[in-house]
Amino acid sequence: MAVFYKPQSKDKTLKSFEALCTALDIHGRGVAKHEGRIWFVPGVMEQEKFRALVVNQKEQVGTAKLVKLLTVNKERRAVDCPLLEKCGGCPLEHLPLKKALEAKIQGIKKLFSRVLKEDLGEPSFIEESVEDAYRRVCRLSTKTDHGKVYLGFRSAFSQNLVPIDKCKVLEDRMNDILEPLRKFINSLKGKKTIGHVELVSSDGALGILLRLTSNLDPDDEVLCQAFAKDRGILIFVQEPSKHFITQEEVLNERVVAGDPHELYLNVKGYKIIFTPSAFVQINKVINEKLQDRVLEALDLKGEECVLDLFCGLGNFSFPIAKTGASVVGVDIVRSMVEEANLNAQNFGLEKLKFCVADLEDDFEKQMWAKQNYDAVVLDPGRSGAKLACQFLSKLKPKLAVMISCNPLAASRDVAQLVQGGYKIKSWGVFDMFPRTSHVEMMLVLERAS
């Protein structure tokens, strides 16, 4: 059989390229066009020529990793963190704060315009933040190497641990405890059973949560008490155990050192006691501005009934209750709901109650869902509030205030509300997470009359 020569086709897959950045996207990544594709390249600014290595590519879009800057924008900021390339926790460090926030705002406008088929307009407000020492909550991973435990953050590009002894976005007293904490952990018998270490800088004491894979050794508990007393902090542990009825594995959280009443948040005059595993907004100053904006949007007179979905500890429920309005807070995390109810009882807030419900499942048969509400506040996680918005379209409260840390999910949910008869009254942004690609936004929706 004759075999004829057939020239092999060349591999058209691009390996690397050079291009000019012409814009920034909603995540603060550089945007460039090359060979018919739109490329997204982290670490690049407008008007910078660069060389990049392809990470992935499709027919029309691709992502790439910056290899070298060929020209530099004069507004580019100098790197001020030695761990930037390893940690990846501050991907927008090179951008001036205002430029990074403006990129996110413009990205939100483009996203909502595409989803809603109408112009979102300019934000009614922009709440800016300082970029240093703003973070009051963090989770540290652990790694054991040659019998020694290290604390740090996971790399953005791998599962490798980046040990840290200081981070410029953490509050000062969190930084101050890092090195003593590392030494303390290495003194424990059960140091290898510590999976994560969480820090929360409350308005009272500094709280530390040790997440364990087995029960805390009694000798280690004595060491925890001594360390906590010496430092004026609280130490909690989360340990695995068996449910006494189902025998399923559950996690129990308990305080082992310090007075648990000293871990609290000041919320509009209310001292909200909580445990360190509860969700707390990381940026205290911006969160207070967020609370103020929500109250301003609701414009309550004191006789209304308000539903607070994804309420957590009551970040909005307690400020709303202070106006005299009746409030029902709903969240899936039972421990936070129990803490919120206990705090409400301690303050004698009879018109404030909290309920447990999975808002991503069928919840409409619960008693709280059968009431009528004048307004609803929603602060879902990154996955959004798809079922909750379907519920609101049927419940038909006059006003809905949505807070979101994920504009993509928010655009989907808002589109659903618009289809259900609502219109966007106003919107704004909060720079809750400076130096990162994330942004917090708030939308006020009014039911069309």
Instruction: Show the beta-strand stretches assigned E in 225-351.
Output: 234-242, 249-257, 264-267, 270-273, 305-309, 326-331
The CATH number that applies at residue 206 is: 2.40.50.1070
Domain for residue 5, yes or no? no
- Active-site annotation holds for 405: yes
Specify the DSSP class assigned to residue 170.
B
Q: How many CB atoms lie within 10 A of CB 383?
A: 9
* Whether residue 241 sits in one domain with residue 296: no
**Model pTM score:** 0.92
CA gap 69, 90 in Å, rounded: 19
* Whether residue 201 sits in one domain with residue 223: yes
* Whether residue 259 sits in one domain with residue 201: yes
* Whether residue 423 sits in one domain with residue 442: yes
Question: Which domain covers residue 190, as residue numbers?
Answer: 137-264
The CATH number that applies at residue 301 is: 3.40.50.150
Q: Which of 379, 443, 449, 433 is nearest to 100 (CA)?
A: 433
Tell me how many domains the chain contains. Answer: 3
* Whether residue 143 sits in one domain with residue 116: no
CA gap 89, 139 in Å, rounded: 12
CA gap 195, 295 in Å, rounded: 39
Q: Which of 122, 125, 123, 115 is nearest to 418 (CA)?
A: 115
Please enumerate in sequence order all residues whose Cβ is within 8 A of that of 400, keeping only pairs 6 or more positions apart, or say none.
375, 376, 377, 378, 392, 417, 422, 444, 445, 446, 447
Domain endpoint, select from 215, 232, 264: 264
* Whether residue 429 sits in one domain with residue 360: yes
User: What pLDDT does 376 receive?
Assistant: 98
* Whether residue 438 sits in one domain with residue 296: yes
* Whether residue 125 sits in one domain with residue 58: no
* Whether residue 431 sits in one domain with residue 287: yes
400: phi then psi, degrees, rounded to nearest 5:
-130, 130
Domain for residue 84, yes or no? no
CA gap 385, 339 in Å, rounded: 23
pLDDT per position in the chain (449 positions), as tens? 455 545 544 445 668 999 999 999 999 999 999 989 999 999 999 999 999 999 999 989 999 999 999 999 999 999 888 888 788 889 999 999 999 999 999 999 999 999 999 899 999 999 999 999 999 999 999 999 999 999 999 887 777 899 999 999 999 999 999 999 999 999 999 999 999 999 999 999 999 999 999 999 999 999 999 999 999 999 999 999 876 666 677 889 999 999 999 999 999 999 999 999 999 999 999 999 999 999 999 999 999 999 999 999 999 999 999 999 999 999 999 999 999 999 999 999 999 999 999 999 999 999 999 999 999 999 999 999 999 999 999 999 999 999 999 999 999 999 999 999 999 999 999 999 999 999 999 999 999 87
User: What pLDDT does 159 receive?
Assistant: 78
* Whether residue 431 sits in one domain with residue 307: yes
Please enumerate in sequence order all residues whose Cβ is within 8 A of that of 412, keeping only pairs 6 or more positions apart, or say none.
115, 384, 386
Domain for residue 230, yes or no? yes
* Whether residue 141 sits in one domain with residue 71: no
Query: What is the rounded (10 degree) CA torsion for 269, 271, 274, 279?
Result: 10
When computed from its CA atoms, the radius of gyration of the chain, rounded to whole angstroms, is: 25
Domain for residue 69, yes or no? yes
Domain for residue 86, yes or no? no
The CATH number that applies at residue 32 is: 2.40.50.140
* Whether residue 141 sits in one domain with residue 56: no
Domain for residue 403, yes or no? yes
Domain for residue 66, yes or no? yes
Q: Residue 224 is which amino acid?
A: C
Domain for residue 319, yes or no? yes
